[in-house]
């Protein structure tokens, strides 16, 4: 089976983290220098937790200060095993905003900030692929004003992050049904994918207008077309053939080792269905804008305690 052919490597694939600074304040104060300064945080040298967000108008992006991109590897975690591919269902933006009597758009904006932090941590700690569920095929039923805002937010965020991605070695890929997206967003996506395609430190896969079922359907269509065109025999259709056609074929590591879902719901909501066959699932009650380094470390720590058997003993 596919997942059995890819044993999870136990060797440390991390880029050697920078020597730990004795002066943690360097990290904290420099983090405060940009958009995170508006987040309240505890006085101790604990991980930042995001609370009452007052977003800055210019929405500074991750890594404005070069020092802040690298986050030291947490002491609580072992160097191995680390998930090679982490997937996230970023749930809870709407509820986060509602609790603060804000419009859903404010929640999505805060969610974008949480995502930037997540990208930064993954890049720092040697995770190779981060796939995030930004917009489902099922989300098109939401109010038009919210959908339009989200499309605009995606475009703006991609645009503001491209330079950082190029500088930090992050490759961006977008999966999903592009036919429904505004053309300006499609152009931005193409530009970003092209600009960052040589980067290899971290691959950020953003699922927009995506669903697991959509992915399987389009893969099946591709396979059926190959059979119809005589390129493929019926008997040759197997798991590997399907996998090559899934939209996660944009990465060398298509199957998440760890799936994180925030906001407490216990379901996968039509995300990567095929790819999640042997993924370790982790559910956190925090709403997505509140999911930060502390919560991510807990998720990784949980992953490190899992016993993965892939059907065997």
Q: What is the DSSP string of 104-120?
A: HHHHHHHHHHHHHHHHH
Helical H segments across the chain, by residue range: 2-5, 24-32, 93-99, 104-125, 144-168, 183-196, 212-228, 239-245, 293-304
- Cβ-in-10-Å burial (0-12, 13-18, 19+) of 229 comes to exposed
Q: Which is nearer to another protein, 46 or 267 (CB)?
A: 267
Binding track, positions 274-313, relative to another protein; x by CB under 8 A: x-xxxxxxxx----------------------xx--xxxx
Residue 100 engages another protein in binding (rule: CB under 8 A): no
Candidate residues 159, 163, 267, 285; the one interacting with another protein per rule CB under 8 A: 267
From 121, 125, 93, select the one nearest 106 (Cα to Cα): 93
CA 32 to CA 40: how far, in whole Å? 10
> Does 247 engage in binding with another protein (CB under 8 A)?
no
Contact flag: residue 242 with another protein (CB under 8 A): yes
Binding track, positions 2-21, relative to another protein; x by CB under 8 A = xxx-----------------
* Shortest distance (Å) from residue 292 CB to another protein: 22
Tell me whether residue 129 or residue 246 sits nearer to another protein (CB atom). Answer: 246
Query: Among the candidate windows 134-142, 147-155, 173-181, 187-195, which touches another protein by CB under 8 A?
Result: 134-142
Residue 182 neighbours by CB under 8 Å, 6+ apart:
151, 155
Kindly identify the residues of this chain, within the stretch 80-99, that bind another protein according to CB under 8 A: 94
Strand partners, 88: 132, 260
Euclidean distance between CA atoms 40 and 38, whole angstroms: 6
Q: How far is CA 2 from CA 48, 81, 212, 243, 283, in A?
A: 39, 20, 17, 9, 25
Q: Segment contacting another protein (CB under 8 A): 75-83, 136-144, 163-171, 197-205?
A: 136-144
Residues in contact with another protein, counted by CB under 8 A, come to a total of 53
Q: Is 273 in the site for another protein (CB under 8 A)?
A: yes
Of residues 2 and 47, the one with the C-beta less far from another protein: 2
Catalytic annotation present for 257: no
Cite the active site residues.
91
The residues binding another protein (CB under 8 A) are 1-4, 94, 136-139, 141-143, 211-214, 216-217, 219-221, 223-225, 227-228, 234, 237-239, 242, 265-270, 273-274, 276-283, 306-307, 310-313
């Amino acid at each position: 089976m596919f997942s059995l052919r890819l044993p999870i490597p136990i060797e440390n694939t991390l880029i050697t983290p920078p020597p730990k600074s004795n002066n943690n304040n360097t990290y904290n104060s420099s983090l405060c220098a940009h958009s995170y300064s508006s987040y309240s945080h505890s006085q101790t040298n604990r991980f930042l937790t995001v609370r009452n967000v007052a977003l800055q108008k210019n929405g500074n992006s991750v890594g404005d200060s070069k020092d802040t991109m690298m986050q030291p590897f947490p002491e609580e975690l072992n160097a191995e095993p680390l998930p090679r591919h982490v997937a996230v269902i970023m749930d809870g933006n709407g509820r986060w905003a509602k609790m603060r009597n804000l419009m859903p758009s404010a929640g999505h904006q805060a969610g974008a900030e949480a995502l930037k932090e997540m990208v930064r941590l993954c890049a720092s700690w040697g995770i190779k692929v981060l796939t995030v569920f930004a917009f489902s095929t099922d989300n098109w039923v939401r109010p038009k004003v919210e959908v339009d805002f989200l499309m605009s937010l995606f475009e703006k965020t991609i645009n503001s992050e491209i330079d950082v991605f190029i500088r930090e070695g992050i490759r961006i890929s977008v999966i999903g049904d592009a036919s429904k997206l505004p053309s300006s967003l499609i152009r931005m996506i193409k530009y970003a994918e092209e600009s960052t395609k040589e980067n290899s430190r971290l691959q950020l896969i953003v699922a927009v207008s995506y669903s697991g079922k959509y992915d399987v359907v389009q893969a099946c269509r591709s396979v059926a077309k190959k059979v119809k065109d005589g390129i493929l025999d019926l008997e040759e259709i197997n798991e590997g053939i399907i996998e090559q056609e899934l939209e996660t074929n944009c990465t060398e590591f298509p199957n998440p080792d760890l799936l994180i879902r925030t906001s407490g719901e216990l379901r996968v909501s039509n995300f990567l269905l095929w790819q999640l066959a042997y993924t370790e699932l982790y559910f956190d009650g925090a709403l997505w804008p509140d999911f930060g380094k502390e919560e991510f470390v807990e998720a990784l720590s949980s992953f490190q305690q899992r016993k993965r058997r892939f059907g065997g003993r």
